[in-house]
Amino acid sequence: MPIETETQLEQRLATPNQQDIELMRRLSGNVMVLGAGGKMGPSLVRRCKRAIESAGVTKRVMAVSRFSSMEAREELEAAGVETIACDLLNRDEVDGLPDCENVLFLAGRKFGSTDRTDLTWANNVIVPAYVAHRYRASRIVVFSTGNVYPFVSPASGGSLETDEPAPRGEYAQSCLGRERMFEYFSRELGARCLMFRLNYAVDLRYGVLVDIARKVFDGQPMDLTVSHFNVIWQGDANSYALRSLELCESPPRVLNVTGGEIVSVRQAAEFYARRFQREAVFKGEASGVALLNNSSRCRQLLGEPETTLEELMELVAHWVELGGRSLNKPTKFEVADGKF
Domain boundaries, the chain: 6-199+234-259+292-306
Supply the pLDDT for residue 286.
Answer: 86
Residue closest to 330 by CA, chosen among 223, 254, 235? 223
The pLDDT tens digits for 10-43 are 999 999 999 999 999 999 999 999 999 888 999 9
Whether the CB-CB separation of 223 and 283 falls below 8 Å is answered with yes
Spatial distance between the Cα atoms of 49 and 33, rounded to a whole number of angstroms: 11
Q: How confident is the model at residue 114 (pLDDT cuts 50, 70, 90)?
A: low
Measured between alpha carbons, how far is 65 from 85 in angstroms, rounded to an integer? 5
**What does the pLDDT read at residue 332?**
79
Superfamily for domain range 6-199+234-259+292-306: NAD(P)-binding Rossmann-like Domain (3.40.50.720)
